[in-house]
Chain A
Amino acid sequence: MEVATPMTSASESHGTTGHYTTTGLDNRKVAIWALIGSECMLFASLISTYLIYKGRSLVGPYPHEFWCRATNVTSDGPIAGCAPAELFRPILNIPVTSASTFCLLMSSLFMVLAHNAVVNRDEYRARGGGGIIGSSKLWLFMTALFGTTFLLFQAYEFTSFVHEGLTIRSNLFGSSFFTLTGFHGAHVTAGVIWLCTLLAIDMKRGLRPRDALNVDLAALYWHFVDVVWIAIFTLVYLIQ
């Protein structure tokens, strides 16, 4: 039989629980880590699929090579004699993706600062508010904003790819690329919605230290989305 004990704000903020559990850990935090573990395997399968199909497309456009549609010739540089309408550039836009990667990294920083502000709210209040560092509203807003910016970059990238002739049905690269990055984008979208709900609660009644576990769960999910992108950015975009 479970024995209930008073739940303190400190225990909630650290993933421990007032309810008796054999581990002394809150089941919600154990559950989010189990979810993250399973998500690791999902993304590993998607990344594996991308890597297996990499370089096996029979027609372009290609990620890192020029392609002449008329002759189906690929090259590291522009192809002489190919009509401009038939010549396709390497499709990946590294400067744009680098900017979006920076946005996601910064959003992770803002997320830990939001969590830090909620956990230490009382301490900051006792010292007169804590200034910018103590404002969970600001950091949650910035996290959601930078997450949304990442999504806008991805929407721009997908749109430009389609305009340049690469769709999910064009070739193996298109199929595996859009599936992998699309799944990741869907996870980022879910994370942004989660962040917006936390921000709404914070605006309405203020997040207190006893809410810290709720923020921690969202933060863990958000950081996981970030580490998945760290792997995708290197394996898909940078390694040729």
Chain B
Amino acid sequence: MAHSPNLPASAAGTAAGTSVSHDVHATGHGVDQHGNPTFHPEHPTAGTYVKVGVILTLITVIEVWVYYIPGFTKTKLFVPLLLALSALKFAIVVMFYMHLKYDHKLFRSLFVGPLLIAAGTLMGLLFLFGKLAVRLGLLT
């Protein structure tokens, strides 16, 4: 079978593993030579990934350290602090490791949309079954 120049390189069996170094760090929207839309997000460097890993580890250490402070676990700050630290870790992984900070906004919508629905469902269920309502003083 003759390879068509219009087929993708991989499908046509041609060597597509050419150097991409000039494209890897390019960013933004554009069009290819055929006028089709393309998107080339920027990626962080390996050094940035390692720094993010160190920050995530430090946040985890703080979480566990706070857990072992007997006086602090009884205060009203304990739960909000843990939730904030957890949310921070969540956001860092999603933004840097999952590249959502750099990637196309459609991917962001596909993740944030269901995440908001999930969070709303969780809050709604907790209200329905009384946990949050009791904690906020709406029910006795």
Please report A residues at the B interface, Cβ cutoff 8 Å: 3-20, 23-25, 29-30, 33-34, 36-38, 40-41, 43-45, 47-48, 51-52, 54, 94, 98, 101-102, 105-106, 108-109, 111-113, 116, 119-120, 122-123, 126, 133, 208-210, 219-220, 223-224, 226-227, 230-231, 233-235, 238-240
A123 B19 Cβ-Cβ under 8 A:
yes
The A interface, classified by DSSP as helix, strand, loop or mixed, is helix
* Residues 100-120 of chain B, each 1 if its beta carbon lies under 8 Å from chain A, else 0: 000110110011011101110
Contacts of A34 in B (CB 8 A): 110
B117 A41 Cβ-Cβ under 8 A:
yes
Contacts of A30 in B (CB 8 A): 106-107, 110
Q: Determine the residue in chain B with the shortest Cβ distance to A234.
A: B86
Q: Could you say which of B17, B93, B114, B131 contacts A226, with CB atoms under 8 Å apart?
A: B93
A105 B53 Cβ-Cβ under 8 A:
yes
Contacts of A7 in B (CB 8 A): 8-11, 16
Q: Determine the residue in chain B with the shortest Cβ distance to A45.
A: B121
Contacts of B64 in A (CB 8 A): 94, 98, 238
Q: Could you say which of B33, B46, B79, B107 contacts A29, with CB atoms under 8 Å apart?
A: B107
A108 B97 Cβ-Cβ under 8 A:
yes
Q: Could you say which of B41, B90, B111 contacts A36, with CB atoms under 8 Å apart?
A: B111
Please report B residues at the A interface, Cβ cutoff 8 Å: 5-11, 16-21, 23-24, 29, 32-34, 36-41, 43, 45-46, 49-50, 52-53, 56-57, 60, 63-64, 67, 73, 78-79, 82-83, 85-86, 89-90, 93-94, 96-98, 103-104, 106-107, 110-111, 113-115, 117-119, 121-122, 125-126, 129, 131
Supplied contacts A10-B24, A224-B98, 11 more A-B pairs, CB within 8 Å: A6-B7, A6-B8, A9-B18, A15-B103, A120-B21, A122-B17, A123-B20, A123-B21, A123-B24, A219-B98, A230-B90
B46 A227 Cβ-Cβ under 8 A:
no
A220 B115 Cβ-Cβ under 8 A:
no
Contacts of B106 in A (CB 8 A): 23, 25, 30, 33
Shortest Cβ distance from residue B93 to the other chain A in the assembled complex, whole angstroms: 5
B97 A10 Cβ-Cβ under 8 A:
no
B19 A122 Cβ-Cβ under 8 A:
yes
B6 A5 Cβ-Cβ under 8 A:
yes
B131 A44 Cβ-Cβ under 8 A:
no
In the complex the two chains form, what is the Cα distance from A17 to B37 in whole Å? 9
Contacts of A13 in B (CB 8 A): 20, 24
Contacts of A41 in B (CB 8 A): 114, 117-118, 121
Contacts of A209 in B (CB 8 A): 17, 19-20
List of 9 A-B pairs having minimum Cβ-Cβ separation, nearest first: A24-B37, A44-B118, A37-B114, A7-B8, A10-B23, A109-B53, A234-B86, A123-B21, A18-B8
Pick from A10, A51, A108, A209 the residue with the most CB of B within 10 Å: A10
Contacts of A238 in B (CB 8 A): 63-64, 67, 82
In the complex the two chains form, what is the Cα distance from A234 to B82 in whole Å? 7
A-B contact pairs, 19 of them (CB 8 A): A5-B33, A5-B34, A8-B16, A9-B17, A10-B40, A14-B23, A17-B8, A24-B38, A30-B106, A44-B118, A45-B121, A98-B64, A105-B57, A106-B53, A106-B57, A113-B46, A230-B86, A234-B83, A234-B85
A102 B57 Cβ-Cβ under 8 A:
yes
